[in-house]
Chain A
């Protein structure tokens, strides 16, 4: 196969398998960067790295998980460059370890309330919850993407979800009180 046709073949595979995930990658990048230009840069850098190393992607495996892992590395490098260490630290783990059982909320929640509650979690817990519940990655894929042990993924997920339910509970309690207050007035 000539170099040109090989390049064409790589591009065709990349376009079919990797590019369709760009919008999901952007949502993740935008969630963590909170800045459109920075998120676009991160996604573009991710896709460029993915294209350059597409020969390493194993066909038949989860391409989105592979891209998410690259994106997480890109975001992590950017944070390091900005001297923002967002890896989970001991404080986060101590918070998590102290979380009691919290039942799932049964009241109606708006999307805004739910995302606001998620924002209140330590960022490392947001990451595992998002990669599991939104991106539907397996625990093993999350461990690879975040470069943490499988056991840590499981414990952070367990605690992260409990913290999320607790935050929702707090916000709903506040909303109920507010509503009650207004009703009395």
Chain B
């Protein structure tokens, strides 16, 4: 083997990709050739430095908060697999359950407002399922600030309210992330909590003047029910319809909603 051959095979040699016979020929050459030994040593050092440089570069380091949020989201998705395809009536059941929420909430509504409310509540539950639990949205979520600039300034209020940690009567809820996502035609402020060991969502959307007037939500007090095996609590805050949804008990969900409702209503009242 000549020096030119060694240079040709040097990198494959360092990667352990050469056949045994070729390795032996190289080693025999290296024993007698200080120039090729130096070349191999320099390439090995360059490779080691490249790996080190890549690992040390600050711009390439991952945020621990991102890893934690991703792990939690994946875990929630793994623990609660998608509705089996055989469950053809899942969507219908969910809609019927959501209808119950709104009917409970709003009492004797006119048909138009009832229909709109049902659709909104079902979308809120769907958003929780698809965004917070399964992470399968057609459109990528955007930041609250982006949504405030592009769609409705009221989204900005959700950047600080509720706060990062909320004490409730049954234990704390911690905010994992905040964003705005689009689901079933509704743009929701979406806040994901870690609460009672589960992933729980607050989804809120400005309902607009006309729908707001149609909906006979006269109270900001949270009203709880269940939909699609989830605890769901609905309330009004400012001109926003707010829903809490998650796989916890009704009492636990109501405790969270009670802790959030007052300050959130005040934060949204001026928007």
- For residue A127, CB closer than 8 A to chain B, the reply is no
Given A11-B75, A51-B77, decide whether A111 and B53 contact each other with a Cβ distance below 8 A.
yes
- For residue A66, CB closer than 8 A to chain B, the reply is no
- For residue A65, CB closer than 8 A to chain B, the reply is no
Binary per-residue interface labels of chain B (20-61) against chain A in the complex, 1 for a CB within 8 Å, 0 otherwise: 000000000000000000110011011101111111110111
* Cβ-defined partner of A23 (8 Å) among B42, B53, B62: B62
What chain A residues lie within 8 Å of B79 (beta carbons)? 7-8, 11
What chain B residues lie within 8 Å of A129 (beta carbons)? 50
Provide the bound-state CA to CA distance between A158 and B9, in Å. 9
Closest to A50 in B: B74
Provide the bound-state CA to CA distance between A118 and B60, in Å. 14
What chain A residues lie within 8 Å of B85 (beta carbons)? none
Interface size class of A (residues with CB under 8 A): 35 or more
Stretch from B10-18, B116-124, B220-228, B241-249 forming part of the interface with A: B10-18
- Per DSSP, chain B at the interface is helix
Given A11-B79, A30-B59, A130-B54, decide whether A154 and B12 contact each other with a Cβ distance below 8 A.
yes
Given A48-B74, A104-B43, A105-B42, decide whether A27 and B49 contact each other with a Cβ distance below 8 A.
no
Stretch from B65-73, B156-164, B181-189 forming part of the interface with A: B65-73
Stretch from A69-77, A91-99, A132-140, A172-180 forming part of the interface with B: A132-140
Provide the bound-state CA to CA distance between A14 and B79, in Å. 12
What chain A residues lie within 8 Å of B43 (beta carbons)? 104, 161
What chain B residues lie within 8 Å of A157 (beta carbons)? 11
- For residue B78, CB closer than 8 A to chain A, the reply is yes
- Per DSSP, chain A at the interface is helix
What chain A residues lie within 8 Å of B61 (beta carbons)? 23, 26-27
Which 6 residue pairs spanning A and B have beta carbons closest together? A104-B42, A111-B53, A26-B62, A11-B78, A27-B60, A104-B43
Q: Which residues of B contact A (CB under 8 A)?
A: 4, 7-8, 11-12, 15, 17, 38-39, 42-43, 45-47, 49-57, 59-63, 66-67, 70-71, 73-75, 77-79, 81, 135, 140
Q: Which residues of A contact B (CB under 8 A)?
A: 3, 7-8, 10-11, 14-15, 19, 22-23, 26-27, 30-31, 36, 40-41, 43-44, 47-48, 51, 101, 103-106, 109, 111-112, 114-115, 118, 129-130, 132-134, 136, 138-139, 154, 157-158, 161, 164-165, 168
